């Protein structure tokens, strides 16, 4: 397999429109803004009595999850259904799956079902890229999360959440806190924030949970002291401790992590008074975040789930039908009204 980064051009067609959605790396600010604008338009659909538009009528979306994720799978299913697509969801066992022959054979079997799009979630970094490289030309691939590499739709729903509550990215300070080393969400968020013009991206974690070279690769500021890193930030994005991906003694204990890095009411007070609190879920209460904060007035964690449906509708429609999705939706809204 060739390196992941070498496959970025796979995402775009000759007109610069989305062909696949694999990573935020290499996508332009204009394209990310178009995606956010389209997602904004789809939020109105969720408020209707009949929550459907006909943009993908006659298309088949196949969710192929080699790795469990109730939240991501469910929101992709809802997004495809609201676009009037037919939806198939397969939970594929990971016990004997590899990125070699088994994954290739799985792909060929899925193609035989005549699906128009695969949403792929896999524990191995690069799996979605591998499938995109070998899939039939008329089939689109959406990355629903691959290993430690990328979770682009989560990154964009986080950006939509920030934009709807804070507006312009160009004056914001955003802190990403927790298990950076194992987090594909952190990588997608750093790329999105940088592309959208956020001037102050902070990463806060113990040294054992920090990848090497973050400052140079993503243009972020790194803090190992949570209290220092959270001072005067506008947005705090907490991450789950991914024990299932950890090897060796990276942390003394969850209790010690919470004491030093957990988001408590007292620690949140170091941020700006109107700072947003975000978390991609699932939340480990008392490990990375205090219940009073997770359920508090500054939390937009449930908003993230709502916005996730709209973002995934935008990704599905733009990948399948190009950047005409907003125009089609506007026409549908006029007919609906």
Q: In whole angstroms, what is the distance from residue 258 CA to residue 288 CA?
A: 6
Same domain, 92 and 203: no
pTM value is: 0.89
Inter-CA distances, 290 with 29, 155, 196, 276, 299, Å: 35, 23, 30, 15, 11
Inter-CA distances, 263 with 50, 182, 274, 288, 303, Å: 39, 19, 15, 6, 19
Q: Is 243 annotated as a binding residue?
A: no
Residue 95's pLDDT band (cuts 50, 70, 90): very low
Tell me, yes or no, whether 329 lies in a domain.
no
pLDDT at 107: 77
pLDDT at 336: 57
pLDDT at 333: 58
Q: Is 121 annotated as a binding residue?
A: yes
Same domain, 296 and 166: yes
pLDDT at 66: 85
Q: Is 151 annotated as a binding residue?
A: yes
Tell me, yes or no, whether 336 lies in a domain.
no
Contact status, residue 182 vs residue 246, Cβ threshold 8 Å: yes
Q: Is 51 annotated as a binding residue?
A: no
Q: Give the strand pairing for 276-278 and 117-122.
A: unpaired
Q: Is 137 annotated as a binding residue?
A: no
Same domain, 261 and 281: yes
User: pLDDT tens digit string along 295-334?
Assistant: 999 999 999 999 999 999 999 999 986 544 555 555 555 5
Mean pLDDT, residues 241-268 taken together: 77
pLDDT at 2: 40
* Average pLDDT value for the chain: 88
Contact status, residue 79 vs residue 46, Cβ threshold 8 Å: no
Domain housing 157: 153-300
Q: Is 240 annotated as a binding residue?
A: yes
pLDDT at 1: 34
Same domain, 142 and 208: no
Mean pLDDT, residues 163-180 taken together: 97
User: pLDDT tens digit string along 194-248?
Assistant: 999 999 999 999 999 999 999 999 999 999 999 999 999 999 999 998 755 444 4
Same domain, 134 and 220: no
pLDDT at 244: 52
Same domain, 268 and 131: no
> What are 280's two structure tokens?
């991609």
Same domain, 104 and 179: no
Q: Is 247 annotated as a binding residue?
A: no
Q: Is 57 annotated as a binding residue?
A: no
pLDDT at 79 over 90: yes
What CATH number is associated with residue 214?
3.40.50.1370
Q: Is 207 annotated as a binding residue?
A: no
Same domain, 177 and 132: no
Q: Is 154 annotated as a binding residue?
A: yes
Q: In whole angstroms, what is the distance from residue 76 CA to residue 73 CA?
A: 5
pLDDT at 105: 80
Per-residue 3-state assignment (H helix, E strand, C coil) for the chain: CCCHHHHHHHHECCCCCECCECCCCCCCHHHHHHHHHHHHHHHHHHCCCCCCCCCCCCCEEEEEECCCCHHHHHHHHHHHHHCCCEEEEEECCCCCCCCCHHHHHHHHHHHCCCCCEEEEEECCCCHHHHHHHHCCCCCEEEEEEECCCECHHHHHHHHHHHHHHHCCHHHCEEEEECCCCCCHHHHHHHHHHHHCCCCEEEEECCHHHCCCCHHHHHCCEEECCHHHHCCCCCEEEECCCCHHHCCCCCCCCHHHHHHHHCECHHHHCCCCCCCEEECCCCCCECCCECHHHHCCCCECHHHHHHHHHHHHHHHHHHHHHHHHHHHHHHHHHHHHC
Domain count, the chain: 2
Q: Which region among 143-147, 165-169, 241-245 has the lowest average model confidence (pLDDT)?
A: 241-245
User: pLDDT tens digit string along 3-47?
Assistant: 454 445 789 988 888 999 999 999 999 999 999 999 999 998 888
Same domain, 225 and 121: no
Same domain, 266 and 295: yes
């Amino acid at each position: 397999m060739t390196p992941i980064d070498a496959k970025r051009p796979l995402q775009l067609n000759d007109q610069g429109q989305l062909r696949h959605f694999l990573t935020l790396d290499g996508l332009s600010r204009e394209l990310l803004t178009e995606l956010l604008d389209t997602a904004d338009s789809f939020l109105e659909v969720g408020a209707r009595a009949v929550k459907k538009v006909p943009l993908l009528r006659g298309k088949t979306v196949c969710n192929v999850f080699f790795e469990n994720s109730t939240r991501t799978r469910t929101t992709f299913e809802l997004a495809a259904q609201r676009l009037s697509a037919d939806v198939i969801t397969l939970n594929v066992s990971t016990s004997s799956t590899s990125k070699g022959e088994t994954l290739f054979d799985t792909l060929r079997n899925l193609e035989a079902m005549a699906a128009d799009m695969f949403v792929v979630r896999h524990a191995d970094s690069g799996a979605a890229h591998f499938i995109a490289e070998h899939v039939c030309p008329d089939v689109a691939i959406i990355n629903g999360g691959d290993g430690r590499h990328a979770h682009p739709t989560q990154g964009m729903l986080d950006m939509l959440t920030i934009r709807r509550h804070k507006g312009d990215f160009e004056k914001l300070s955003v802190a990403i806190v927790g298990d950076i080393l194992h987090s594909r969400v952190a990588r997608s968020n750093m790329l999105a924030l940088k592309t959208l013009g956020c001037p102050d991206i902070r990463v806060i974690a113990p040294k054992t949970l920090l990848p090497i070279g973050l400052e140079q690769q993503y243009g972020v500021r790194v803090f190992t002291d949570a209290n220092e890193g959270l001072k005067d930030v506008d947005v705090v994005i907490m991450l789950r401790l991914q024990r299932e991906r950890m090897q060796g003694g990276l942390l003394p204990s969850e209790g010690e992590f919470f004491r030093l890095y957990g988001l408590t009411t007292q620690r949140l007070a170091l941020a700006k008074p109107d700072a947003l609190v975000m978390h991609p879920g699932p939340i480990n209460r008392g490990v990375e975040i205090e219940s009073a904060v997770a359920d508090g007035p500054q939390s937009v964690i449930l908003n993230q789930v709502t916005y996730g449906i709209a973002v995934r509708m935008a990704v599905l429609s733009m990948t399948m039908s190009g950047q005409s999705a907003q125009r089609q939706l506007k026409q549908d809204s006029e007919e609906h009204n």
